[in-house]
Structure 1
Amino acid sequence: MSDQTRRGSYGSSYDTSFDVNNNNNNSTSRQTIKFLTAATIGVSLMLLSGLILTGTVIGLVIATPLLVLFSPILVPAAFILFMAASGFLFSGGCGVAAVAALSWIYNYVAGKHPVGADKLDYARDVIADKARDVKDRAKDYASYAQGGTTTGSTY
């Protein structure tokens, strides 16, 4: 019986007029706390951002004369390092491609039917058919050139 008297219009035992007023006060205080927390975090991050920007500018001001002074050494060194790294990456990529190709060939020869094997078989059959057609035409032309009769299709 006490549950029935406490239930409000929504059927919940927590929706009394006291709780509704308390939730309004609670939600405004929660919003205030959320705003203050977000503002505090935002201001501190803005201060950190400004300090990092200031430090970066000071570092560049100090490092610029050194970079200009040592640029005849640093630029060719950077170019050589870039070329060496590119060469190592390219050769490594070629090695990976070779291992992948050899693995595919091994799986194909072993009969495991790797991806693309059906296309390779189709291409092989088409090439074999064309080679057979060329061979037959060559025989027909050879017999025609020798004065014989043609045994194949007419042209």
Structure 2
Amino acid sequence: MADFHYQQPLLGYRDDPHQQTLCTQVVKAATAVTAGGSLLVLAALILTATVIALTIVTPLFVIFSPVLVPAVITVALLSLGFLVSGGFGVAAITVLAWIYRYVTGKHSVRHKLLNKALEIKDYGHQQISGGLQTS
């Protein structure tokens, strides 16, 4: 049997994997601080841009609100109409496919199992009643 020797990772792990060197801890901390600081600065920039954009756009919203409110309601109703019609279309196709399978005799597995169970039941009754008549 071959004797396998595992290589230790390069960043300062010793015999105990939970024991890390100071260098590894410093590298991890520096990476975390850099990533966290970058994300924090990015979040602050986005927040500032959002506040500035909202300040600029608010008067436009007030001026155009008689147009925007009906436009938003219209777009919402159109979207809802397309969504509902699509749902009904999918339901109709599903029902038609089920009817087609039912008419052509390609029932689901449940119907096949139910029919087979009824056949076995009838066969059992025939065997029992046939056995009683011959004796």
Class of the TM-score when normalised by the shorter of the 2 chains: 0.5 to 0.7
Give the Cα–Cα distance (whole angstroms) in 1 for the partners of residues 93 and 111 of structure 2: 17
Give the Cα–Cα distance (whole angstroms) in 2 for the partners of residues 98 and 92 of structure 1: 10
Aligned to 2:107: 113
Unaligned runs of 5+ in 2: 8-12, 116-135
Aligned to 1:37: 31
Contact preservation (8 Å) 1:107, 1:113:
yes
1:73 to 67, 80, 85: 67
1:88 to 82, 86, 102: 82
Q: How far 1:65 sits from its partner (Å)? A: 0.4
Moved over 2 A (4+): 114-118
Q: SS of the residue aligned with 1:59?
A: helix
Identity of aligned residues (%): 49
Say if 1:58 and 1:50 are closer, same or farther in 2 by CA, change over 3 A. Answer: same
CA RMSD in angstroms comes to 3.0
Aligned to 1:58: 52
Say if 1:28 and 1:112 are closer, same or farther in 2 by CA, change over 3 A. Answer: same
Partner AA of 1:95 in structure 2: G
Give the Cα–Cα distance (whole angstroms) in 2 for the partners of residues 114 and 104 of structure 1: 9
Say if 1:101 and 1:45 are closer, same or farther in 2 by CA, change over 3 A. Answer: same
Unaligned runs of 5+ in 1: 1-11, 122-155
Partner AA of 1:50 in structure 2: A
Partner AA of 1:88 in structure 2: F
Give the Cα–Cα distance (whole angstroms) in 2 for the partners of residues 13 and 51 of structure 1: 47
Say if 1:81 and 1:117 are closer, same or farther in 2 by CA, change over 3 A. Answer: farther
Aligned to 1:97: 91
Q: How far 1:114 sits from its partner (Å)? A: 2.4
Q: How far 1:88 sits from its partner (Å)? A: 1.3
Q: Between Structure 1 and Structure 2, whose CA radius of gyration is higher?
A: 1
**Higher RCO structure, 1 or 2 (CA under 8 Å, sep 6+):** 2
1:47 to 37, 41, 45: 41
How many residue pairs are counted as aligned between the two chains? 102
TM-score by length of 1: 0.58
Contact preservation (8 Å) 1:104, 1:114:
no
Partner AA of 2:77 in structure 1: M
Q: How far 1:109 sits from its partner (Å)? A: 1.1
Give the Cα–Cα distance (whole angstroms) in 2 for the partners of residues 116 and 78 of structure 1: 48
Give the Cα–Cα distance (whole angstroms) in 1 for the partners of residues 110 and 56 of structure 2: 59
Give the Cα–Cα distance (whole angstroms) in 1 for the partners of residues 92 and 62 of structure 2: 44
